[in-house]
């Protein structure tokens, strides 16, 4: 089968021909239709992600596809069902053998491109805002990197959950996309003083931050007493050091959060969240924003769209219908 593999950290992906996997008793074999890209894929390619698969390995964290075989102990899924899954790596291939308990059946009417773009973006935002930060209606939510794959979904879900949403992104075009997703206030990260602009709007009760660096530092100082901050990524390349004295004086809470870890530590929480999100999708409350779709052999070009920040929402690799 075809697979886009990391053969050496820092080098472009290579299109390889590798054996098709066989599912273990608790796994299903999925024919992959689409694989959505994430910032974490860039880190995996460089060898700087928190998980380091042995070389060579196939890139791709989240997939949609169709079950082709079921392991002998699997009762929750059957051949022919359409599913989504977060697999960490292995998604840019024609097939993957995946543990059945991290696969979730999806409606037959859901396009595979939408489905692939669904788990990480929406799952990350929903568990962060609901399960971890306990976002309440009427609270003010500050979303950094608001036009990206996990930022845009936080804008959309925050608004759906009743928050007043402040979206921070770079440039008018990206801010317009955040506004269309439901943002109440827009801040251009390239202009003005982020701290002062947020404070002028009344400060933030919850901060959702996939960016890190100077934006996190500014957001920390613009967070209201008893506010909660969720650093969930460092797209700026700068992991901020958090001054404990500010946390003390303002009674702030910084929440550790790694969505992908739930696939191993508590898949039930993850799957319950995704089931609720799929219900919102079916009822028309949410819809993934996919800015680019490219075929498997153009995966390196797709990664460049993330690397150069030319994409908004999600970039999806298509493999089959």
Distances (CA, A) of 228 to 91, 134, 176, 222: 33, 9, 26, 11
The token pair at 273 is 């969240």
pLDDT digits (tens, 9 = 90+) for 129-173: 999 999 999 999 999 999 888 899 999 999 999 999 999 999 999
* Cα–Cα distance for residue pair 27/296, rounded to 1 Å: 24
- CATH architecture entry for 2-118+288-318: Alpha-Beta Complex (3.90)
pLDDT computed for residue 282 by the predictor: 92
* Cα–Cα distance for residue pair 59/187, rounded to 1 Å: 34
123-259 has the same fold as 2-118+288-318: yes
Q: What is the pTM of this model?
A: 0.86
Listed in order, strand segments (DSSP E) in 130-278 are 140-143, 164-169, 185-188, 204-209, 223-231, 253-254
Nearest Cα to 65, choosing from 317, 313, 273? 317
The share of the chain scoring above pLDDT 90, in percent, equals 79
Task: Give backbone dihedrals phi and psi of 215, rounded to 5 degrees, phi first.
Answer: -65, -40
Q: Which helix (H) or strand (E) holds 62?
A: strand 62-70
pLDDT digits (tens, 9 = 90+) for 8-35: 999 999 999 999 999 999 999 999 999 9
* Cα–Cα distance for residue pair 210/222, rounded to 1 Å: 17
Among positive and negative, which fits the CA dihedral 210, 213, 217, 218? negative
Provide CB contacts within 8 A for 134, sequence distance 6+: 228
Mean pLDDT across 189-213: 94
pLDDT score of 56 more than 70: yes
- CATH architecture entry for 123-259: Alpha-Beta Complex (3.90)
pLDDT computed for residue 254 by the predictor: 96
What does pLDDT average to over the chain?
A: 94
Q: Where along the chain do its domains lie?
A: 2-118+288-318, 123-259
pLDDT digits (tens, 9 = 90+) for 94-141: 999 999 988 999 998 899 999 999 998 999 999 999 999 999 999 999
Cβ atoms of residues 318 and 34 within 8 Å: yes
pLDDT digits (tens, 9 = 90+) for 222-263: 999 999 999 988 877 778 888 899 999 999 999 999 888 887
pLDDT computed for residue 100 by the predictor: 95
Q: Pick the more confident residue, 185 or 266.
A: 185
Strand order, beta sheet including 204-209:
185-188, 164-169, 140-143, 204-209, 223-231, 253-254
The token pair at 36 is 């959505």
pLDDT computed for residue 65 by the predictor: 97
3-state helix, strand, coil in the chain (%, to 5): 35, 25, 40
Q: Pick the more confident residue, 236 or 2.
A: 2
pLDDT computed for residue 106 by the predictor: 93
Listed in order, strand segments (DSSP E) in 71-130 are 82-86, 95-99, 103-105
The token pair at 70 is 């079921």
* Cα–Cα distance for residue pair 31/16, rounded to 1 Å: 17
- The secondary structure of residue 24, as a DSSP letter, is -
The token pair at 68 is 């082709």
pLDDT computed for residue 240 by the predictor: 86
For residue 57, the cross-strand partners are 6
Band of pLDDT at residue 321, cut at 50, 70 and 90: low
The token pair at 310 is 């030319």
pLDDT score of 51 more than 90: no
Cβ atoms of residues 120 and 150 within 8 Å: yes
- The secondary structure of residue 54, as a DSSP letter, is P
pLDDT score of 299 more than 90: yes
């Amino acid at each position: 089968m075809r697979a886009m593999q990391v053969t050496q950290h820092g080098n472009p992906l290579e299109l390889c021909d590798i054996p098709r996997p066989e599912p273990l008793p608790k796994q299903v074999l999925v024919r992959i239709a689409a694989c959505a890209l994430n910032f974490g894929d860039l880190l995996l390619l460089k060898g700087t992600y928190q998980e380091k698969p042995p070389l060579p390995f196939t890139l791709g964290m989240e997939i949609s596809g169709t079950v082709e075989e079921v392991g002998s102990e699997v009762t929750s899924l059957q051949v022919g069902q359409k599913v989504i899954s977060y697999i960490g790596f292995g998604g840019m291939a024609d097939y993957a053998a995946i543990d059945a308990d991290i696969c979730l059946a999806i409606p037959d009417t859901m396009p595979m491109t939408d489905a692939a773009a669904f788990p990480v973006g929406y799952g990350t935002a929903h568990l962060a805002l609901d399960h971890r930060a306990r976002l309440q209606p009427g609270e003010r939510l500050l979303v950094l990197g608001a036009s990206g794959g996990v930022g845009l979904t936080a804008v959309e879900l925050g608004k759906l959950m009743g928050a007043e949403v402040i979206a921070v992104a770079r440039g008018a075009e990206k801010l317009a996309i955040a506004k269309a997703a439901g943002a109440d206030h827009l801040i251009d990260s390239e202009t003005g003083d982020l701290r002062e602009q947020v404070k002028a709007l009344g400060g933030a009760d919850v901060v959702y931050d996939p960016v890190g660096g100077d934006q996190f530092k500014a957001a920390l100082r613009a967070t209201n007493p008893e506010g909660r901050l969720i650093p969930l990524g460092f797209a700026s390349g700068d992991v901020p050091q958090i001054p404990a004295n500010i946390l003390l004086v303002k009674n702030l809470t910084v929440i550790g959060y790694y969505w992908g870890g739930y696939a191993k530590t508590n898949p039930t929480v993850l799957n319950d969240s995704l089931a609720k999100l799929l219900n919102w999708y079916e009822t028309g409350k949410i819809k993934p924003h996919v800015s680019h779709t490219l075929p498997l052999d153009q995966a390196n070009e797709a990664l460049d769209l993330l690397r150069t920040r030319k994409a908004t929402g999600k970039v999806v690799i298509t493999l089959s219908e």
